[in-house]
Chains A and B, each alone.
Chain A
């Protein structure tokens, strides 16, 4: 059974320790590993099949250890510097390059020993020269005298021998080692073999580093998304609002961290409150970005005169400028005035809010104009109604009416209306809860927003009866 001598083990350990400690640029010093590996390689080269098996096992252990040390939380730059240090320790050379490639292009190179003025030539090695050949053939190539071989691309005048080894992972080309030396026949078959085995481990190390970086990027993206979610949550009113005998509550659910629905209610002055609900085409981040613009527009364009059609017209023009034609926003906004219980509104292509009347029937708030963001020149008209004592108004986005049950049947406007009629008249926050409970009963056990695949928004406004107030 092949085994390393105690001395070899000590020297090997020194090599590994040196490898893990070596810093970028620590290239010229020579650690004893190549001799160990060479000796070892020669020793096991003559052994039989059991020995071959043991050799492979030992080799794997050795190089797995190298690989572990290489890939420990390093980014591409640190990793490639460490790899080049290890390569310098493994096989003597006068110049070398580590090239990482993806889709036939060099995406990274770490070079040592080349003149800076020839760097542009070095970069053309992937298209011409030995590297091109090696990449095509998926095998390494060793030239004893570069002047004898037409495939050699001269980027370094003093080079006389060259070794190119592809870095392959499951047959996929990940990069190359390119080693150059000033003497002829500088690289032996053992050197070639060692760099080939090393390249196999480097492939794993690079893959691991790539996966690690992807994971870190994903984690960072998740963290950023969490910040975005928190910012968006701050865009919604924190509390329910009461002004005079009017009480308002809203809720928003999304199956992503951010979404394209928006609702808002805020006081314009002592007597008036603005209520808005809007839905942006699509979901996720793109919709959320537009939703932020909608909110900004509503807040900035709503002035004391409260000319709603003018505000919506300006908002439409603005959204038409900043969105693609196929992206649009449906929006409803209205101003309730406690002095006369009037509710003036503009409905820009949004699901009409429902007013539940005392006798259980409903009326819809339709007046307004086209959806926003696609037709910049259009005008809007204003509707007006009076909210009688005891009446409730339901504002919603289509995520509610289009929610599906297990049989993929839609909840639909009719069920929503019935639910509203059943619970209408309750205090808004409680009414919202009842509406959501009915919807939950319909869609089954799944989480509401994930079941619908859309954002869900509900706002309820209720004018108290005299005895309630």
Chain B
């Protein structure tokens, strides 16, 4: 899994590529978000367009990363969720806490609103 980051105003956009299956990659991702959070960032978009597979450990790391952002009063939007990952979020009912958008732009618009 690789992570690319860019900023649009005060929004951090993290693009993940590869498989999210837990392991050391997961820590890298979590630490990156934690670092940004400590630096004052409260708006994060997670672009999943490059993610092929995500297992339950991968899902676990998204939850672990999501929680401190919410607790700090921030928001953590998902974008470009594949059909398979979408189904995982549906089954686990994680959409009751996560918000997903079709594209990164739509997620950015939601932050402007």
A contact set with B: CB distance below 8 Å = 279, 281-282, 324-328, 330, 348-352, 368-371, 374-375, 378, 398
Q: Are A371 and B64 in contact (CB under 8 A)?
A: no
Q: Are B63 and A328 in contact (CB under 8 A)?
A: yes
**Could you give, for residues 3-30 of chain B, a 1 whenever the CB lies within 8 Å of some chain A CB and a 0 otherwise?**
0000000000000000000100010000
Contacts of A279 in B (CB 8 A): 56
Q: Are B94 and A326 in contact (CB under 8 A)?
A: no
Interface size of B in residues (CB-CB distance below 8 Å): 16
Query: What CA separation (Å) do A371 and B93 show in the bound complex?
Result: 7
**Could you give, for residues 87-112 of chain B, a 1 whenever the CB lies within 8 Å of some chain A CB and a 0 otherwise?**
00001111011000000000000000
Q: Are B57 and A368 in contact (CB under 8 A)?
A: no
Q: Are A330 and B60 in contact (CB under 8 A)?
A: no
Q: A324-B64, A374-B63 are in contact. Are A369 and B93 (CB under 8 A)?
A: yes
Contacts of B60 in A (CB 8 A): 281, 325-328, 374
Q: Are B96 and A351 in contact (CB under 8 A)?
A: no
Q: Which of B19-58 contact A (CB under 8 A)?
A: 22, 26, 56-57
Contacts of A281 in B (CB 8 A): 56-57, 59-60
Q: Are B63 and A326 in contact (CB under 8 A)?
A: yes
Contacts of B57 in A (CB 8 A): 281-282, 326
Chain A: which residue is nearest B95 at the CB level?
A370
B contact set with A: CB distance below 8 Å = 22, 26, 56-57, 59-61, 63-64, 67, 91-94, 96-97
The contact of A351 among B59, B63, B91, by CB within 8 Å, is: B91
Q: List 13 A-B contacts (CB under 8 A).
A: A281-B56, A281-B60, A282-B22, A324-B64, A326-B22, A328-B60, A328-B63, A349-B93, A349-B94, A351-B91, A370-B92, A370-B93, A374-B60
Q: Are A370 and B64 in contact (CB under 8 A)?
A: no
Q: Are A370 and B56 in contact (CB under 8 A)?
A: no
Q: Are B91 and A326 in contact (CB under 8 A)?
A: no
Q: A326-B63, A326-B64 are in contact. Are A368 and B56 (CB under 8 A)?
A: no
Q: Are A370 and B61 in contact (CB under 8 A)?
A: no
Q: A281-B57, A282-B57 are in contact. Are A330 and B64 (CB under 8 A)?
A: no
Q: How far is the CB of B46 from chain A (nearest CB, A)?
A: 15
What 17 new A-B contacts, CB under 8 Å, besides A326-B22, A327-B60? A279-B56, A282-B22, A282-B56, A325-B60, A325-B63, A326-B26, A326-B63, A326-B64, A328-B56, A328-B63, A349-B93, A351-B91, A370-B93, A370-B96, A371-B92, A374-B67, A375-B97
Query: What CA separation (Å) do A348 and B91 show in the bound complex?
Result: 9
Q: Are B91 and A352 in contact (CB under 8 A)?
A: yes
Q: Are B93 and A368 in contact (CB under 8 A)?
A: yes
Query: What CA separation (Å) do A371 and B45 show in the bound complex?
Result: 23
Query: What CA separation (Å) do A370 and B57 show in the bound complex?
Result: 16
Q: A325-B63, A326-B63, A328-B63 are in contact. Are A370 and B91 (CB under 8 A)?
A: no
Most central of B92, B93, B94, B97 by chain A CB within 10 Å = B93
Contacts of A348 in B (CB 8 A): 93
The contact of B64 among A325, A350, A369, by CB within 8 Å, is: A325
Query: What CA separation (Å) do A378 and B92 show in the bound complex?
Result: 13
Q: How far is the CB of A262 from chain B (nearest CB, A)?
A: 15
Query: What CA separation (Å) do A411 and B56 show in the bound complex?
Result: 17
Contacts of B22 in A (CB 8 A): 282, 326
Query: What CA separation (Å) do A369 and B97 show in the bound complex?
Result: 11
Chain A: which residue is nearest B84 at the CB level?
A410
Query: What CA separation (Å) do A385 and B68 show in the bound complex?
Result: 38
Q: How far is the CB of A315 from chain B (nearest CB, A)?
A: 15
Contacts of A325 in B (CB 8 A): 60, 63-64, 67
Q: How far is the CB of A312 from chain B (nearest CB, A)?
A: 12
Most central of A351, A352, A375 by chain B CB within 10 Å = A375
Contacts of B96 in A (CB 8 A): 369-370, 378
Q: How far is the CB of B106 from chain A (nearest CB, A)?
A: 24
Query: What CA separation (Å) do A416 and B57 show in the bound complex?
Result: 23
The contact of B92 among A324, A326, A327, A349, by CB within 8 Å, is: A349
Most central of A325, A330, A350, A351 by chain B CB within 10 Å = A325
Q: How far is the CB of A254 from chain B (nearest CB, A)?
A: 15
Query: What CA separation (Å) do A118 and B90 show in the bound complex?
Result: 68
Q: Are A370 and B97 in contact (CB under 8 A)?
A: yes
Contacts of B93 in A (CB 8 A): 348-349, 368-371
Query: What CA separation (Å) do A398 and B60 show in the bound complex?
Result: 15
Query: What CA separation (Å) do A350 and B91 show in the bound complex?
Result: 6
Q: How far is the CB of A294 from chain B (nearest CB, A)?
A: 15
Q: How far is the CB of B23 from chain A (nearest CB, A)?
A: 11
Contacts of A378 in B (CB 8 A): 96
Chain B: which residue is nearest A372 at the CB level?
B92
Query: What CA separation (Å) do A408 and B60 show in the bound complex?
Result: 24
Q: Are A349 and B56 in contact (CB under 8 A)?
A: no
Q: How far is the CB of B59 from chain A (nearest CB, A)?
A: 8
Query: What CA separation (Å) do A326 and B94 show in the bound complex?
Result: 13
Q: Are B91 and A349 in contact (CB under 8 A)?
A: yes
Q: How far is the CB of B85 from chain A (nearest CB, A)?
A: 13
Chain B: which residue is nearest A367 at the CB level?
B93
Closest 9 CB pairs of A and B: A326-B60, A349-B92, A326-B64, A325-B64, A371-B92, A281-B56, A374-B63, A370-B93, A349-B93
Q: Are B94 and A370 in contact (CB under 8 A)?
A: yes
Query: What CA separation (Å) do A368 and B91 show in the bound complex?
Result: 11
Q: How far is the CB of B82 from chain A (nearest CB, A)?
A: 14
